[in-house]
């Protein structure tokens, strides 16, 4: 009997093709052939245009809006299962619906659990994702979850700036744990913002806990949606005497009018990963750091049954 591991193939959904191409290039493989046929009423059909029988299959697709991206991923998983793939690994750089991870008021859905159930029922054997909104979402799955961190690409970038008198800040108390890991790594003070929301995506009041006077502030968050919170925090810190304010955000959701708000804010720069496609021409202050190498390395380690923890900086 051969001791060789089964071959693996990499396929991409429609909207994450730009990232999948870079991941495949880093792995030294060609993207697999797949066809997505659209019907007049909006329905679509997924088919693999090559044999995947007995193969380890990696399906790359973020589930950012709209819902077609999630449905496309589910159909890719189902098609792979019916084509007798040996194992099916969903690579989801941005896991959508993650903000709905608990019942924070009566009679609401827990959407992230529902999405986990849908992917599991469709037939995934493993999930590789990055910077979930809440770590406990990993527990919604009954299959292994490899949870990566964009800090692996953000930290080298921040180090290259050689900022003096740096402080790490979180735009809300909920992100304190994430920001604290950066603060420990850089041996920098931690500043928190306490916000009160009037409603979803609208901040009514914000206060700063900590000293930012004459400091270079780096705000750390998992995503930027409408940019209301991050811009309000940056403007407030500038009013309190900060030298400069930058922001790190793993996922650039950037719903309108986010780009406009950032351009008009006190932010010096916003650094995103490319988990979601974003046109930097829309936002003059945006910088995009590629996560393709990190995901390629993880895929190779998973395939070779090696530990992935050694690639984490924090």
Active site residues: 195
Give the Cα-Cα-Cα angle 152, 153, 156 (nearest 5 degrees). 95
Q: How buried is 203 (Cβ within 10 angstroms: 0-12 exposed, 13-18 middle, 19+ buried)?
A: buried
Give the Cα-Cα-Cα angle 124, 107, 171 (nearest 5 degrees). 75
Tokens 């790490």 identify what position? Answer: 168
Dig out the tokens for 249 from the structure: 């955000």
Alpha-carbon distance 102 to 92, whole Å?
21
Backbone angles phi, psi at 29, to 5 degrees: -125, 165
- Judged by DSSP in three states, 174 sits in helix
Q: 128: which residues sit within 8 A by CB, 6+ positions away?
A: 58, 89, 90, 91, 92, 145, 146, 148, 295, 298, 299, 302
Alpha-carbon distance 74 to 78, whole Å?
6
């Amino acid at each position: 009997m051969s001791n060789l591991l089964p071959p693996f193939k990499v396929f991409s959904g429609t909207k994450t093709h730009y990232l999948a191409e870079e991941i495949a290039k880093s792995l030294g493989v060609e993207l697999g052939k797949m066809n997505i046929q659209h019907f007049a009423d909006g329905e679509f059909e997924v088919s693999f245009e090559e044999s995947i029988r007995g193969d380890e299959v990696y399906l790359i697709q973020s589930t950012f809006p709209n819902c077609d991206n999630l449905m496309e991923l589910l159909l890719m998983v189902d098609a792979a299962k019916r084509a007798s793939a040996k194992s099916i690994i969903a690579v989801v750089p941005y896991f959508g619906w993650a903000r709905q991870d608990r019942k924070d008021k009566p009679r609401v859905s827990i959407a992230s659990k529902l999405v986990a159930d849908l992917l599991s029922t469709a037939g995934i054997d493993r999930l590789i994702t990055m910077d979930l909104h809440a770590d406990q979402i990993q527990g919604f799955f009954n299959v292994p979850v490899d949870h990566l961190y964009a800090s692996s690409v953000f930290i080298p970038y921040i180090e290259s700036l050689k900022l003096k008198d740096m402080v790490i800040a979180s735009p809300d108390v909920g992100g304190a744990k994430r920001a604290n890991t950066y603060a420990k790594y850089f041996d920098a003070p931690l500043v928190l913002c306490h916000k009160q929301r009037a409603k979803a995506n609208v901040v009514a009041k914000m206060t700063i806990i900590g000293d930012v006077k004459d400091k270079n502030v780096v705000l750390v968050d998992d995503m930027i949606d409408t940019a209301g919170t991050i811009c309000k925090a940056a403007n407030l810190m500038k009013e309190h005497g900060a030298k400069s304010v930058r922001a790190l955000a793993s996922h650039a959701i950037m719903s309108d009018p986010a780009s406009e708000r950032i351009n008009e804010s006190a932010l010096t720069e916003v650094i995103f990963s490319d988990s979601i496609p974003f046109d930097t021409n829309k936002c003059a202050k945006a910088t995009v750091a590629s996560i393709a190498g990190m995901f390629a390395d993880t895929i190779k380690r998973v395939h070779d049954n090696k530990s992935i923890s050694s690639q984490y900086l924090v």
